[in-house]
Amino acid sequence: MNKVLTISASPHSFGVDSTQKIMYGVVLALLPALAASIYYFGIGALIVTAAAVISSVGFEYLIQKYVMKVKPSISDGSAMVTGLLLAFNLPTNIPIGLVILGSLISIGVGKLSFGGIGQNPFNPALVGRVFLLISYPVQMTSWPKPIIGRMNYLDAETGATPLAVVKEGLKNGESFSSIDIPAYLDLFFGYLGGCAGEISAFAILIGGIYMLWKKIITWHIPLTVLGSMVFFSGLLYLINPEGFADPIFHLITGGAMLGAFFMATDMVSSPMSVKGQIIFAIGIGFLTIVIRVFGAYPEGVSFAILIMNAFVPLLNTYFKPKRFGEVKKNG
């Protein structure tokens, strides 16, 4: 019995999950949304997505290898997720150059400048998107109209998103019911202008349910984000149904679904305790509605998430999980 035995402290048994599995699980969950995007936006969706994924992974590899001089970690799949999410947050007729620039900002500034995976305080894809949105507002806000089987890329005919239409209309004193927007069922399945991956609430729901089933995410953040959006927009709608859009409209348009299921749930930049996550999610819902209704932009999910990302360290410090057998302090 002269075997060299391995020694380590308990536990000696481990779960089967790994960072890779989680990341590729997210990629898998994003595929329905990608399919919807290609269905409605055609070749442009494919080009933008491919460019974002390839450049994100490429930048991660190059920066880690030659700038940071560490072992590249592209195999964990996190750069791929960032690339996909970035692409999903861009219009499908955006020039490739901007996509690559966005990837560089996402990966280089949003992620690696903080030390790489696990260290970034902000969702890297959103950092890239907001950078582009502020720097190239024209390209970033010309939305191609959904046309099934479209084959043209840059010169796609564009139009405003329903959110922008409603915002403009309400600002001009029209009543909500008189504004011409597509049927809700069309909006739910994705027949509307918008960013590549955000249009189909239906496809995102499929992905979200998959992630919930695989326990990649928990229900707390997505449901609370959507719930609080419904609550705050509902409040406004009840006060004045003609002056404000109804909650369902808020849910199925813009980036609400994509943000709630894929962006706000980003593990790295969301709080650790359930209490913290709930507050984080309520904040996102609230800020989204505030920006959509009162802000300068028609859409506010990205900003809301980034703002709440900044509160995460605070939430982690002040909202601890409930300790077992917590002894109430005197007083």
Contact between 60 and 86 under an 8 Å Cβ cutoff? The reply is no
Q: Tell the smallest beta-carbon distance from residue 316 to another protein (Å).
A: 8
Report the nearest approach of another protein to the CB of residue 261 (Å): 16
Least distance CB 326 / another protein (angstroms): 6
Among 294, 323, 330, 331, binds another protein (CB under 8 A): 323
In sequence order, which residues have a C-beta less than 8 Å from that of residue 200 and are 6 or more positions away?
A: 32, 33, 36, 37, 40, 188, 189, 190
Q: By CB under 8 A, tell whether 76 contacts another protein.
A: yes
* C-alpha dist (Å) from residue 146 to 135, 245, 250: 25, 22, 19
- Residue closest to 252 by CA, chosen among 295, 205, 207: 205
DSSP string, 75-93: GGSHHHHHHHHHHHTS-TT
Q: Work out whether 152 is an interface residue with another protein (CB under 8 A).
A: no
Among 69, 325, 330, 331, binds another protein (CB under 8 A): 325
Residue 226 CB, nearest distance to another protein (Å)? Answer: 20
Instruction: Determine if 218 is a binding residue for another protein (CB under 8 A).
Output: yes
Residues in region 163-202 near another protein by CB under 8 A: none
The verdict on 60 binding another protein (CB under 8 A) reads: no
Considering only 17-25, 148-156, 168-176, 285-293, which stretch makes contact with another protein by CB under 8 A?
Answer: 17-25
In order, the DSSP letters of 243-296 are TS--HHHHHHSTTHHHIIIIITT-STTS-SSHHHHHHHHHHHHHHHHHHHHHSS
Select from 55, 78, 82, 302 the one that contacts another protein (CB under 8 A). Answer: 78
Structure tokens at 152: 């043209």
Task: Determine the 3-state secondary structure of 147 from DSSP.
Answer: coil
By CB under 8 A, name the one of 171, 322, 330, 331 that touches another protein: 322
Q: Is 113 in the site for another protein (CB under 8 A)?
A: no
Amino acid at 220: H
Is residue 324 a contact point for another protein (CB under 8 A)? yes
The separation between the first and the last C-alpha atoms of the chain, rounded to the nearest angstrom, is 62
Q: What is the number of other CB atoms lying within 10 angstroms of the CB of residue 157?
A: 11
Task: Give the C-alpha separation, 31 to 28, whole Å.
Answer: 5
**Of 241-300, which residues contact another protein (CB under 8 A)?**
267-274, 277
Does 213 help bind another protein (rule: CB under 8 A)?
no
CB 118 within 8 A of CB 266: no
Nearer to another protein, 2 or 172 (CB): 2
Tell me if 14 contacts another protein by CB under 8 A. Answer: yes
Residue closer to another protein by CB (options 75, 141) is 75
Of 91 and 116, which CB lies nearer to another protein in the complex structure?
116
Contact residues toward another protein (CB under 8 A) are 1, 3-15, 17-19, 21-22, 73, 76, 78, 116-119, 218, 267-274, 277, 316, 320-327
